């Protein structure tokens, strides 16, 4: 009888050690999967061989924070993940733990540090652009009045393109650009994303961080805005991802105006369910959630009249 030798576990790098120590769970899981170099399909196959079935879509939801493992039901899956990802015992389990739903009327406490796991790579890229500091911090010279994101899903259930139209107002005289920060969906590489601009702006400098799938792009206006002036601009991102999308969201670092998020599905790839949500942080339960209906043309729409600091998005169930 032959036995397979088990290779020694790889040494944990500093980024993974920090993610496991401080969390939150989605960040730790994403970092561990990237460190191990496994696709979600391969990860699921390893779990299946251990007698633990976790769907690829569920793994994707977990690592993006769209869903959270339910304890104690998910304990066996979490411990199996720790073994496959060669992590210390209980390193993922302790990041799940018991959680409480935040009260809807509670406001987030603290500063931008609460969003550090989402924006650390973006902040490093922003420093490379060498733009004025007040423009770096949440486009501080601009007030966001309205945002409309349209996401196009192809027949393979993949996010093919996203088009964003914004209405901003200058807080003072002088702003002439908008800094957009983007984190690629699971299975995508920001290296292959193509940026196209429409009315109101043109493409400036672009910086990409491949390890974290993060991209920062500079959208230049045709002039400097005067104080109080409103400006409308539009741009889109195009890619050819290989995996079905679990949904999408936008992170708001500051309270903003209205937000409309739409997902347009191909007629041959209609979802089983779409749910809009808003959460204060990536590791918390939604403070609001609503089932959406795909209307004529296969479009699901989520409207937020006023957006606070947090994540607003749509989660997609395919089966």
pLDDT tens by residue, 134-191: 344 458 789 999 999 999 999 999 999 999 999 999 988 889 999 888 877 655 677 8
CATH topology of domain 112-317: Immunoglobulin-like (2.60.40)
Residue 76: the pLDDT is 87
How far is 123 from 190, CA to CA, in rounded Å? 16
- pTM of the full structure: 0.61
How far is 265 from 216, CA to CA, in rounded Å? 27
Which of 174, 246, 241 shows the shortest CA–CA distance to 213?
A: 241
Q: Look at the block and give the residue holding tokens 């879509």.
A: 57
Torsional sign, CA 106, 110, 114, 120? positive
* Backbone phi and psi for residue 275, each to the nearest 5 degrees, phi listed first: -135, 125
Residue 300: the pLDDT is 96
Asked whether 307 and 257 are in contact (CB, 8 A), the reply is yes
Torsional sign, CA 19, 21, 22, 27? positive
How far is 263 from 10, CA to CA, in rounded Å? 40
How far is 27 from 142, CA to CA, in rounded Å? 30
Task: State whether CATH 1.10.260.40 applies to domain 14-96.
Answer: yes
Beta strands 258-265; 142-153: pairing state = parallel
DSSP state of 49: H
Torsional sign, CA 189, 195, 201, 205? positive
End-to-end CA distance of the chain: 41
Instruction: Show Cβ contacts of residue 223 under 8 Å, excluding neighbours closer than 6 positions.
Output: 176
Residue 259: the pLDDT is 96
Residue 277: the pLDDT is 94
Enumerate the domain spans of the chain: 14-96, 112-317
Q: pLDDT, tens digit, for every residue of 270-300?
A: 999 999 999 988 778 888 889 999 877 899 9
Asked whether 312 and 304 are in contact (CB, 8 A), the reply is yes
Q: Look at the block and give the residue holding tokens 């299946």.
A: 48
Low-confidence ranges of the chain (pLDDT < 70): 1-11, 66, 71, 97-138, 185-188
Residue 11: the pLDDT is 63
């Amino acid at each position: 009888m032959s036995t397979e030798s088990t290779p020694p576990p790889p040494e944990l790098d500093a980024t993974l050690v920090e993610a496991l120590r401080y969390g939150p769970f989605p960040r730790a899981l994403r970092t561990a999967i990237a460190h191990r170099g496994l696709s979600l399909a391969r990860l699921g196959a390893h779990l299946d061989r251990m007698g633990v079935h976790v769907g690829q879509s569920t793994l994707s939801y977990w690592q993006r924070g769209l869903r959270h493992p339910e304890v104690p039901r998910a304990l066996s899956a979490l411990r199996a993940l720790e073994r496959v990802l060669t992590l210390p015992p209980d390193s993922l389990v302790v990041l799940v733990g018991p959680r409480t739903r935040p009260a809807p009327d509670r406001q987030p406490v603290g500063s931008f540090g609460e969003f550090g796991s989402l924006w650390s790579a973006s902040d490093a890229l922003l420093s490379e652009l060498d733009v004025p500091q007040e423009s770096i911090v949440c486009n501080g010279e601009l007030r966001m009045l309205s945002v409309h994101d349209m996401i196009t899903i192809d027949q393979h259930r993949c996010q093919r393109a996203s088009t964003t139209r914004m209405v901003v107002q200058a807080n003072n005289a002088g702003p002439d650009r908008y800094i957009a920060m983007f984190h690629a969906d699971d299975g995508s590489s920001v290296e292959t994303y193509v940026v196209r601009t429409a009315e109101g702006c043109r493409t400036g400098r672009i910086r990409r961080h491949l390890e974290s799938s993060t991209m920062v792009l500079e959208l230049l206006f045709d002039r400097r805005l005067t104080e109080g002036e409103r400006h409308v601009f539009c741009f889109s991102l195009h890619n050819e991802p290989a995996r079905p999308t679990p949904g999408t969201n936008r992170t708001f670092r500051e309270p903003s105006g209205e937000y409309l998020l739409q997902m347009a599905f191909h007629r041959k790839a209609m979802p089983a369910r779409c749910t809009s949500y808003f959460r204060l942080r990536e590791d918390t339960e939604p403070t609001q959630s609503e089932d959406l209906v795909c209307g004529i043309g296969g479009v699901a729409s989520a409207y937020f009249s006023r957006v606070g600091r947090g994540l607003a998005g749509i989660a997609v169930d395919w089966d």
